[in-house]
A and B are shown apart, each in its own frame.
Chain A
C-alpha cells in the first residue's frame, strides 16, 4: 500500500510556494465534515448532530470553497497534493456519491500525486457493505475508524453508540471492499477503565489486524460534557500517573505485536525506513508534523500555506453563506514571528521518531549537541546520534523536552 514517504519519492515543491519545511514535507488537503449522529462526551471538534438537510448542500459547497482556495492561495503554481484527509465529525454520513464527486472535483482542480494517500474518517456504526464499497469506488486509500474502546463500560462513558462487535464488522466490510490500509483510534484514561480493560482493548484492536493504531490519552476539553463534569467537580480528570501507566502498557503491547511507535500517539506497521518511520505511517499527518503546507476546507477547518495559518468559521450556515457569495469563510489567521515559527517547528518535529536533522535543528536555533540536548540525552529522553529526536520515554515528556531546548 502506501510506501513510507521519503525525500526521494516526494514531488518537488513548485517555485512560488516556499514553505517553511522542505518539499519532503508534502502538501495535503484537509476536508472537514462536521456532521455526527450523536455528540460524544469527550469531543470538542466542530460537529453538529441533525442538520440532515444541510449535508448535500455542504458537500457541494466544499468543492466551491476548494476552487476559491486554490485561486486565492495556490496560484500560479499549485503544489502536487500528496494526501487528502476527510475528517470530522463523521464523513461517512455524507452520501458516498457526494464524497466521490468531491474527490473527483479535487482531482480536477489540483494535481494529485499518483501514490497520494486519501484517508476518510469513519465511525464504526456508519460503515456497512455499501458504504465500504462506496469509499473504495471513490478512490479512498485509507480509512481511520473511531473505535476508541472495545469495552462496553468505557464506550458507554464516552457515549459512543457502537460496541466491539460493530467495530469488527466495520473492519470486515472495509477489508471486503479492498480497503486494507486501516487505522483504529483508541482512547485511554477514560472513566470506567482500568489496567485490565485497557489491555483487553489493545488486544482486541490488534486482533483486527490494523496496519495503523492511534492511542490517545483522554484530554479534558472545557467545551465538552467531560469538561463540564470536571469543572463542576463531578468527575475527576485522569491522573498523570495513570495515563503514564496506560501509555507504557500500550508501548509494550503494541511494540511486542510488531507495530512501530513513530509519533507520540501513533503506531504503524513497518518496514522501517532510514528516517525511522514505518511504511504504514500516516503521510497526511506527517505533513503536519513536518510543518508542511495544507489546504483546509469546510467549517472550522485550518489551513497552512506559505507560512500563514488561517481558519474557517465554525458555523455551517455561515460557512454556506460565505462560500455561496464567493468568499472564503475565514474566521481568523496568523503569521508567526520567526521565533514563534521556530518554536512551533521544533514542537511539531519532535513529536515523531524522525525528529529534526541537525541542520534543521540549528536553523531553528537549537544546538543538537548543546548542553540542554546533552542533559536530555543523558536522561534518556533524546535518542543518541546527531539528529534531534525523542526516545519512546522522551515522547511521554515531549512538553518538558521542547520547553527545555
Chain B
C-alpha cells in the first residue's frame, strides 16, 4: 500500500487554510477517501484530529502531516503531503512554520460564512511565504450557501480570476477530484537542492510515551538517513536518528527522507524543548552552517496562576505539568505561593485557548481539580532607581511610589465584520483603549478593521463581546506589537481588611473603579454569610475605591430533628462540615473554592 515516491517532481506539499467549522477536517477525510492512504477499518471521522480533546472542541491543536498516494489523470502517481495547521490565533507561529513547509495552500471558505479574520491572517502568512493558493468554496450543498458572494469576496482579497476558484462539497465529495487535480497541476514541486548538506524544518513536535520526542519535518535540502547523527541548529541538541518515515496516515518507517519530502523523525530525545518548532535539523557530520530562516523561541503571552483545589494535590500538579511540558514546548511555569490559594504554579501560555487547553488536559488526563487565577499579561515595570523588572503576577507589582512607569504589551488586531456592525466594533475597540490603524472594505458587505490594542484588554472577554455585538459575524486575529507605556494601577481586593492576593489585578487607571466595583459586588454574591459581618473592599494602595458588606449570618439551623430525621439531618450537617473544611480561610473569612473559581472567571455574569 505504501509506495515511497521520492522523485522530487512528483511531490506536492500543501496545507489547508480554513476557519474553524469551515470543513477542513471533512475535506481531509475526503482526500483520504479518494487516495490510497487509509483503509475503511482505520477510517474514522476527522482522522487528522488526534486527541479526544481536539475532537470535542472541533479544532486542531497539533499539526500533523499525511502522505496521500494519488494517481493523476496524466496516469502518473504523485505523493501529496497534506500538512495540517492549527486553527487558532494562539498558534500563529506554528501555522507560519507549517506553511513554510509547503509550496501550496488550499484556501477553504464556507459558502455560507465567507472569509474570517483568522483565515485571512493565515492567508497573508501563506502569501508572504510565497505559496501557491488554490481558492476553494466549501459546503456548496448547504441551503444557505452563497457561493457567488463568497467567490467575489475571495477574488477581491486574492485578486484571482473566477475560473481559478473551485466549488466543493467536502461532505458529499462533489468537486474533490477536481481539487486533487488542481493540487498536482498548480502547486509547484519542492525546489530544494538534494546535493547540499541536509536541512530539515521542524514544523511540529510531540512527545510519545514509548518513543520520546517525535518531530514532524520538511526536508528542504539534502537528505537524512536512519542511524546518522543529528544536530538541532537552534537548541544545539545532538542525537542519533533512531527512526524516520512518513505518515500514510499511520507511521511507516523508511530508510531516508530526501529534499522536498515531509515526514517524521524520532531523534531519541526526551523533551520537546530539545526539538522545538522552527528549529533546523541537520546532519551531525558535514552539516549545514546556515539554519533555515524564521526560528523563534516560544514566547508566552498570557500568564495565570494554577492552584490545586486540594492543597495535597500540589505534588501531583507538579508531576502533571512536568509530563505535559514534554509535549508542549510553549508551556512555561514556575512554582509560586499565594496566601489565599496556597502552593501552585505561575504558568505562561501562548494565549487564552492554550491556557484553556492546558487546564482541561490537567483536569482530564491527570484528574486534578484546579483553581485558575484571572489571566494577565507580563508588565515591564521601570522603578524609580532605573531598574527594570518584568512582572507576570499582579501581586508582585512594586508599590506605586517606587514605580516610575509601567509598560504593557500591545497587539495589532485585525477584525473582519459585516459592514453594518462597524459602529459597534469601533465602540468596543475604543472602550478597550484601542487605536485605529486602518479600515478597509473587502466587499460592499465586509470590512477589515485594524486596531492597536493592549493585549490585556483582549485576553478577558473581548472576543465574546465582539461576537455578541456582531451577532456572531465578526472574527478576530492579532499579533504581538511590542510594549508601550500606559497609566496602570494595581487594584487590591480586601476581605475584612486583608488583601486577597489572588484577586489583585493591574488595570488602567480609567477602569480601576469599574473593576473594583465589579469584583466586590461579585464577591458579596459568591461568599456565603459568615458568623461575622465581612466588609469587601477594593483599594488602590491605601485608598478604598469600592465597598460592599456581607452581613452576618443570622440563621443556620435545621428546624426539626426527631427520631426519624437523625440520619438525614446528620448527613446534611456532615455535608456542611465538609464544605467548611474545603473552604479557604482568609483571616477570619471562609471562602468557598467555588467563589474563587467563579470570581476569577472572565465570563461570570454580573448583576443577576
CB distance from A40 to the nearest CB of B (A): 14
Given A399-B573, A400-B556, are A334 and B563 neighbors across the interface (CB < 8 Å)?
no
Contact across chains for B559 and A402 when beta carbons are under 8 A apart = no
- A to B contact number (C-beta, < 8 Å): 101
**Contact flag A241-B554 (CB < 8 Å), given A219-B559, A264-B559, A343-B573:** yes
Beta-carbon contact of A288 and B566 below 8 Å: yes
Contact (Cβ within 8 A) A348 B563 = no
- Surface stretch bound by A, among B82-90, B97-105, B461-469, B574-582: B574-582
Is A355 in the interface zone, CB < 8 Å from B? no
With A403-B576, A403-B577: A398-B553 Cβ-Cβ less than 8 Å: no
Q: Which residues in A have their C-beta under 8 angstroms from that of B210? A: none
Give every chain A residue within 8 A of B557 (Cβ-Cβ).
Answer: 217, 264, 395-399
Contact B559 A217 (CB under 8 A): yes
Could you say which residues of chain A place their CB within 8 Å of the CB of B569?
A: 347
By a CB distance below 8 angstroms, the chain B residues around A344 are: 566, 570
Within 8 A of A (CB), among B549-598: 553-564, 566-567, 569-570, 573-574, 576-577, 580
Quick check: which of A4-12, A203-211, A297-305, A317-325 contacts chain B, the rest being far away? A297-305
Q: Are B556 and A399 in contact (CB under 8 A)?
A: yes
Question: Is A28 on the interface with B (CB-CB < 8 A)?
Answer: yes
CA distance A300 to B567 in the complex (A): 13
The answer to whether residues A399 and B554 also contact, given A302-B566, A340-B570, A347-B570 and a CB cut-off of 8 A, is: no
Q: Which of A240, A288, A379 contacts B555 (CB 8 A)?
A: A240
CB distance B563 to A402 under 8 Å? no
Q: Would A243 and B555 be within 8 Å (CB), given that A288-B561, A348-B561, A379-B531 are in contact?
A: yes
A381 to B574 CA separation, bound complex (whole angstroms): 20
Residues in A232-288 with C-beta less than 8 Å from chain B: 240-241, 243-244, 247, 264-265, 285, 288
Cβ contact within 8 Å between B559 and A30: no
A309 is an interface residue with CB less than 8 A from chain B: yes
Question: Does A311 make an interface contact (CB < 8 A)?
Answer: yes
Complex-state Cα separation, A395 to B557, whole angstroms: 7
Could you say which of B553, B559, B560, B566 contacts A309, with CB atoms under 8 Å apart?
B566
Give the CA-CA distance A219 to B569 in the complex, in Å.
Answer: 12
Decide: A244 and B563 in contact? CB cutoff 8 A.
no
Asked if B563 contacts A302 (CB within 8 A), the reply is: yes
Contacts of B561 in A (CB 8 A): 264, 288-289, 347-348, 351
Task: Say whether A399 contacts B531, CB under 8 Å.
Answer: no
**How long is the Cα–Cα vector from A86 to B246 in the complex, in angstroms?**
82
Question: A264 vs B558: C-alpha distance in the bound complex, in angstroms?
Answer: 9
User: Judging by beta carbons under 8 Å apart, are A219 and B553 in contact?
Assistant: no
Closest chain-A Cβ to B553's Cβ sits at a distance in Å of: 7
A146 at the interface (CB under 8 A from B): no
Is the CB of A48 closer than 8 A to any CB of chain B?
no
In the complex, per-residue mask of A335-355: 1 if CB is within 8 Å of any chain B CB, else 0: 000001001100110010000
Q: Which residues of A contact B529 (CB under 8 A)?
A: 240
Q: Is the CB of B554 within 8 A of A30?
A: no
CB distance from B123 to the nearest CB of A (A): 50
Of B556, B559, B566, B574, which contacts A348 at CB under 8 A? B566
CB distance from B579 to the nearest CB of A (A): 8
Complex contact A247–B570 (CB within 8 A):
no
CB-based nearest B residue for A239: B555
**Which chain A residues lie closer than 8 Å to B570 at the CB level?**
340, 343-344, 347
Q: How far is the CB of A91 from chain B (nearest CB, A)?
A: 15
Docked Cα-Cα span, A177 to B564, in Å, equals: 30
Assuming the contacts A334-B567, A344-B566, A347-B569, asked whether A219 and B560 have C-beta atoms less than 8 A apart, the reply is yes
* Residue of A with least CB distance to B529: A240
Asked if A396 contacts B555 (CB within 8 A), the reply is yes
Chain A nearest Cβ from B287, distance in angstroms: 68
Decide: B563 and A294 in contact? CB cutoff 8 A.
yes
Q: How far is the CA of A218 from the CA of B553 in the complex (A)?
A: 18
B573–A244 contact, CB under 8 A?
Answer: no
Instruction: Give bound CA distance, A285 to B576, whole Å.
Output: 24
**In the complex, A347→B568 CA distance in Å?**
12
Q: From known contacts A28-B563, A296-B564, infer whether A400 and B553 are also in contact, taking CB-CB under 8 Å.
A: yes
- With beta carbons under 8 angstroms apart, the residue of B532, B560, B580 that contacts A403 is B580
Other-chain contact of B567, A217, A309, A379, A396 (Cβ < 8 Å): A309
- The distance from the CB of A59 to the nearest CB of chain B, in whole angstroms, is 20
Residue from A28, A302, A396 in contact with B564 in the complex, judged by beta carbons closer than 8 Å: A302
Per a CB cutoff under 8 Å, which of B531, B562, B566, B567 touches A400?
B531
Nearest opposing residue in chain B for A246, CB measure:
B555
A42 to B: closest C-beta gap in Å: 11
Task: Tell me whether B559 and A265 are in contact (CB under 8 A).
Answer: yes
User: Contacts A288-B562, A397-B555 known; A302 to B567 CB distance under 8 Å?
Assistant: yes
The CA of A400 and the CA of B576, in the complex, are separated in Å by: 9
Q: State in angstroms the CA–CA spacing of A334 and B574 once bound together.
A: 15
A25-51 CB mask vs B (1 if < 8 Å, else 0) is 000101010000000000001000000
Which residues on the B side are within 8 Å of A334 (C-beta)? 567
The docked-state distance in angstroms from the alpha carbon of A294 to that of B556 is: 28
Asked if A288 meets B554 with Cβ closer than 8 Å, knowing A340-B570, A343-B574, A397-B531, the reply is no
- Complexed CA–CA distance, A334 and B507 (Å): 56
Q: Mask for A371-400, Cβ within 8 A of B = 1, else 0?
A: 000000001010000000000000111111
Q: Which residue of A lies closest to B558 (CB)?
A: A399
CB-contact partner of B554 in A218, A351, A396, A403, under 8 A: A396
Specify which chain B residues have a CB less than 8 angstroms from the CB of A343 in the assembled complex.
570, 573-574, 577
Residue of B nearest to A189 (CB): B559
A336: nearest residue on chain B (CB-CB)? Answer: B570
Report B-chain residues with C-beta under 8 Å of the C-beta of A300. Answer: 564
Q: CB-CB < 8 A to B532: which residues of A? A: 379
Instruction: Judge whether A247 and B555 touch: CB under 8 Å.
Output: yes
* Contact residues in A for B553 (Cβ distance below 8 Å): 240, 397, 400
**CB closest chain-B residue, reference A341:** B570
A340 to B558, CA, bound (A): 18
Chain B residue at minimum C-beta to C-beta distance from A403: B577
Q: Smallest distance from the beta carbon of B566 to chain A beta carbons, Å?
A: 7
What is the CB-to-nearest-CB distance from B429 to chain A, in angstroms, rounded to a whole number?
39
Contacts of B573 in A (CB 8 A): 343, 347, 399, 402-403
Q: Which residues of A contact B531 (CB under 8 A)?
A: 379, 381, 397, 400
| CB nearest neighbor in A for B578 | A403
Within the assembled complex, what's the spacing in Å between the Cα atoms of A296 and B565?
Answer: 12
Q: How far is the CA of A131 from the CA of B560 in the complex (A)?
A: 28
Residue pair A398, B566 in contact (C-beta under 8 Å): no
| A243 surroundings in chain B (CB, below 8 A) | 555
CB of B531 to closest CB in A, whole Å: 6
Give the complex CA separation of A216 and B558 in angstroms: 9
A343-B578 Cα distance, complex, nearest whole Å: 12
With A244-B554, A403-B576 as known contacts, state yes or no: A216 contacts B566, CB within 8 Å: no
Closest B residue by C-beta to A284: B563
Q: Which of B489-543 contact A (CB under 8 A)?
A: 529, 531-532
18 A/B residue pairs, CB under 8 Å, sorted by A: A30-B563, A32-B564, A219-B558, A244-B555, A264-B558, A289-B561, A300-B564, A302-B563, A302-B567, A309-B566, A348-B566, A379-B531, A397-B554, A400-B531, A400-B553, A400-B556, A403-B577, A403-B580
Identify 11 new A-B residue pairs, CB closer than 8 A, beyond the known A264-B557, A288-B563, A351-B561: A240-B529, A301-B564, A302-B566, A302-B567, A340-B570, A347-B569, A347-B573, A348-B566, A396-B554, A397-B553, A398-B557
For the complex of A and B, the 3 pairs showing the least CB-CB separation, nearest first, are A244-B554, A399-B556, A398-B557
